[in-house]
Amino acid sequence: MSLTVPSPAGGDVTTEAFLARAPEVSLLNLRVDAIADSGTATRALTLAGEDLAGFGYRPGQDIMVLADTSGGRIIRRRYTIRRHDPVARTLDLHIVTDTDGPGAAWALALKVGDPVEAIGPRGKITLAPDATSHLFIGDDVAVPAFAAMVEALPPGSRASVVAEVAAYADKITLEGADRVQVKVVWMFREGPGRPPGAPDGLVAAARTTPLPEGDGHAYVFGEARVVAAVADVLRERGLPPERISAKAYWGLGRANASHGEPLKTPPPAP
């Protein structure tokens, strides 16, 4: 899906050094318990391990996995926790594999039983605690986060989801629709549609989609430039900045940092 450039050398951090500077997260030594492929390019991984005993997270948070140590590099990638089963001590990740990046290569090479080193939970953006109305706008890589967050909403909440994915086969079913009011709009890039990372579709949707009501909150996740453009539209329409949570998951033409995070802000347009 995303076109990347090689990661620059340097900046890699050992596991011990990372944990020392981020004491709020834990090292999770896990194994691959199950693998399932769906849609055009989504791989679902179920990870298991005793390190998940007592594990806790907030919907929308992720874990950071060790994806590659070849060539003297330490490359990690972050993936949203799709589900967590505290009894079975498992968690699920849904990974878009239609990319040329190290994360996709890692996910596609895995076999059941393989070890996985993870660190987590990570991520500051989760459900706004006082909001009863929620708007989610993003692309393929945002879908696991949106699904986890919508399915965690308390009864009586209202949610609108606008998701751009590669094709109709990439639609998913959100659970809990009987508890909350959920409206989902799927946008597809198949056929002569938009390339991944093109802003047109989601920006146009942001101009017409009803804003969250009252104390509502908007969440915008996806490609860096698209996230910035969509957030701008929501602010222009009157949604206060403090009621918009925007996060760039990837950057078109740019590799994520060795710890899985793109640049904090997109570069200016040429």
**Domain presence at residue 7:** no
Number of domains in the chain: 2
pLDDT for the residue numbered 6: 39
Give yes or no: residues 147 and 79 share one domain.
Answer: no
Task: Out of 62-76, 85-99, 176-190, pick the least confident.
Answer: 176-190
pLDDT in tens, 143-177: 999 999 999 999 999 999 999 999 999 999 988 76
Give yes or no: residues 94 and 165 share one domain.
Answer: no
Which residue range(s) make up the domain with 185? 133-250
H helix intervals, the chain: 15-21, 102-109, 143-151, 200-208, 224-236
For CA atoms 83, 130, 248, 64, the dihedral sign is: negative
pLDDT for the residue numbered 9: 43
pLDDT in tens, 18-67: 999 999 999 999 999 999 999 999 999 999 999 999 999 999 999 999 99
Give yes or no: residues 138 and 113 share one domain.
Answer: no
Report the DSSP beta bridge partners of residue 219. Answer: 136, 245
**Domain presence at residue 142:** yes
**Residue 249, C-beta contacts closer than 8 angstroms, at least 6 positions apart:** 138, 141, 142, 221, 222, 223, 262
